[in-house]
Structure 1
Amino acid sequence: MSRRRRGQWLAGVAGISAVGGLAGATVARSLTRRVTDVDPHLDEDFEILDADRGCVVTTSDGVPLAVREVGPEDAPLTVVFAHGFSLRMGAFYFQRARLTEQWGSQVRMVFYDQRGHGQSGEASPESYTVPQLGQDLETVLSVMAPRGPVVLVGHSMGGMTVLSHARQHPQRYPSRVVGVALISSAAEGVSRSPLGEVLKNPVLEAARFAVRYAPKMVHRTRGAASSVIGPVLRAASYGDEKVSRSVVAFSERMMHDTPIATLVGFLHALEVHDETAALPVLAKVPTLIVCGDHDLLTPKEYSEAMAAELPKSELVIVGGAGHLVQLEQPEIVDDALVRLVERATPSKLVAMTRRLRDRVRSHG
């Protein structure tokens, strides 16, 4: 490493440590106010997806993606979930639990970890882009759902993944992809959100440099580097309402376990991405757009702007919820996903099954 490059790297590490300490203390205080002593999710097994049927799907550039599925392989409909930045497929824990019971044999659900996240393989930092994530989704679809109708569900960066897929593969809509849900997402860069302010921090530019030229050394400083990004993500995760301590701890584990090279690489991708060209494609299918009105990373204005371009959309703004709305207010998100599937499934088989099951329960 040249003297100049080493100097940039050392400056990055020093700056990361300095900024992170202050930010971390501020967020710790805010989280203390938000969690509740009464924890309705104390006994939840948030790792339950690991017990589902699993396989590995290899991307075009050789990255192994961890995939899990639940429901019959011959179900009439497949719903594929793409998680957000610094998370993993477990971010859809509540959806997997509730919707498995709701849909029964009518729907198969497929979850996967994005490249560099969870149990999927790391990749070259140059590949940590939203267009590449769209291609990864196409690979997952070609392997896991080569036939039959599909509904795509994306949270945060996962929503951007779905948008990118629509832009790059418009022929799939509505011939194969019959419905789309975009949760806490945006069609273009998030530079106007608080995350955008962090992205302007010169510390992160130095960290990006270090990730490329000294990845092993950066890994040793993951705690310091994460403390720049982590406080913003944690502060934006939940709204003003009381939040389960177990849910907060689970989301913190997902963020902490994400490699620093992944965090730094995808931060730049979130800043520069522009998938607005996907909106005319999504206009062809029923869509669901969900956002918390306390979301600091992808404020509701982003969701409202997308909904205005999508004539077949349902817009759900969840009061008091933050960026991780599907973990914070899962019932509202689950109900909205059920409505989306009913709108997107021409045969109405899913809707019929649901009504029959509800009728049986009401007479039970």
Structure 2
Amino acid sequence: MIESMYQVQRESQSSWVPLRGCRYHVRQWGTPTPGATPLVLAHGWMDVAASWQFMVDAFSEAFVSQRPIIAMDWRGYGLTEAPATDSYWFPDYLADLDALLDQLYPGRPIDLVGHSMGGNVVMMYAGSRPERIRRLVNLEGFGMPATRPAQAPGRMGQWLDELKAQREGANDLKAYADAAGVAARLMKTNRRLGADKANWLAQHWAQPGNDGQWRILGDAAHKVINPYLFHVDEALEIYRRIAAPVLAVEASDDSLGMWWKGKYTLAEFHERLKAVPVLEEALIQDAGHMLHHDQPQLLAAMIEKFIR
């Protein structure tokens, strides 16, 4: 039984947009002033658009009333359809974002915020479409460790092995008996997440199936590794073409160090950021990787100040 539930301050409205063979789910908050610069929010890996709710609730009324605020579920996440695929390709996220903006805000510059994987997407998009972005915020979107050509054969073989495991059902996502089980999983992953927020997120992060079991709204194929290597030199060339001012925000917990165990460090990430022409860096204290859950008020105020 769920005893506490986060009380939403600003309800979102859902719509669906046909994009590149997928039926994309988009959330919008507020009734903005016509012609105002849109704020677009891009979630991370194994997350959903509803994850932004706490930060949106923390924005000031003056800020929300002046602009459209939208967030989409990436392909194969949340309420957006999963395409017929057994693995996902990073460039497709950029193409989906480009198509979405062309449909919703053709020819208009936007303010863009991305978290984690979404932060990586928005950085690459802003360098590929510099004229589309007015302000850019990257929340813990670190990119990937540097690679060497000698890793290519092993990476391709790993991809083939993981596709085989996918066909055999080895990558299937865990099922939970109820929403409370999903909430418990969320709190285990993020020790700062309160029960009220976890209970609310569980309703949007997962759904019950015909068997009554709750499953995460994320295609298991997202777990399959990309067969191609990450090339730092290519990423830096894209960073150099970003025309918008960029705010790069980190949490006080070193999630990068925890993930990569010295194979990729914050010092390396900061060195890469030197390629960005106009950059501000900021730190959110008492926060982990899900900083928009841990410190939504501090983050909202920081974003408001930067975008204004």
Q: Where on the TM-score scale, by shorter chain, does this alignment land: which range?
A: 0.7 to 0.9
Residues 270, 121 of structure 1: CA spacing in aligned structure 2 closer, same or farther, 3 A cutoff?
farther
Separation of aligned partners in 1, 2:107 and 2:138: 23
Q: Which residue of 1 aligns with 2:174?
A: 223
Q: Which residue of 2 aligns with 1:183?
A: 139
Identity %: 18
Displacement of 1:271 after TM fit?
A: 7.5
SS in 2 for 1:268: coil
Displacement of 1:218 after TM fit?
A: 5.2
Residues 104, 189 of structure 1: CA spacing in aligned structure 2 closer, same or farther, 3 A cutoff?
closer
Q: Which residue of 2 aligns with 1:337?
A: 303
Displacement of 1:304 after TM fit?
A: 2.5
Q: Which residue of 2 aligns with 1:348?
A: none
Residues 308, 238 of structure 1: CA spacing in aligned structure 2 closer, same or farther, 3 A cutoff?
farther
Q: How does 1:81-120 map to 2 (within 5 A)?
A: 81-99=41-59, 101-120=61-80
Which 5+ residue runs of structure 1 have no aligned equivalent?
A: 1-40, 193-199, 225-229, 343-364
Displacement of 1:54 after TM fit?
A: 2.7
Separation of aligned partners in 2, 1:318 and 1:218: 37
Q: Which amino acid aligns with 1:52?
A: S
1:268 to 223, 226, 233: 226
Separation of aligned partners in 1, 2:278 and 2:188: 29
SS in 2 for 1:154: strand
Q: Which residue of 2 aligns with 1:146?
A: 106
Q: Which amino acid aligns with 2:196?
A: S
Residues 237, 297 of structure 1: CA spacing in aligned structure 2 closer, same or farther, 3 A cutoff?
farther
Show structure 1 runs of 4+ deviating over 6 A: 202-205, 233-236
Q: Which residue of 2 aligns with 1:27?
A: none
Displacement of 1:308 after TM fit?
A: 2.6
SS in 2 for 1:209: helix
Separation of aligned partners in 2, 1:249 and 1:123: 29
Which 5+ residue runs of structure 2 have no aligned equivalent?
A: 148-154, 176-181, 207-214
Residues 102, 204 of structure 1: CA spacing in aligned structure 2 closer, same or farther, 3 A cutoff?
farther
Q: TM-score, normalised by structure 2?
A: 0.74
Contact 2:246 2:279 in 1 (8 A): yes
Separation of aligned partners in 1, 2:199 and 2:45: 17
Q: How does 1:21-60 map to 2 (within 5 A)?
A: 42-45=4-7, 52-60=12-20
Residues 331, 138 of structure 1: CA spacing in aligned structure 2 closer, same or farther, 3 A cutoff?
same
2:216 to 220, 236, 257: 257
Separation of aligned partners in 2, 1:66 and 1:203: 32
SS in 1 for 2:226: helix
Aligned residues: 272
Residues 167, 237 of structure 1: CA spacing in aligned structure 2 closer, same or farther, 3 A cutoff?
farther
Residues 124, 132 of structure 1: CA spacing in aligned structure 2 closer, same or farther, 3 A cutoff?
same
Separation of aligned partners in 2, 1:271 and 1:101: 44
More helix by share: 1
Displacement of 1:305 after TM fit?
A: 3.2
Q: Which has the larger radius of gyration?
A: 1
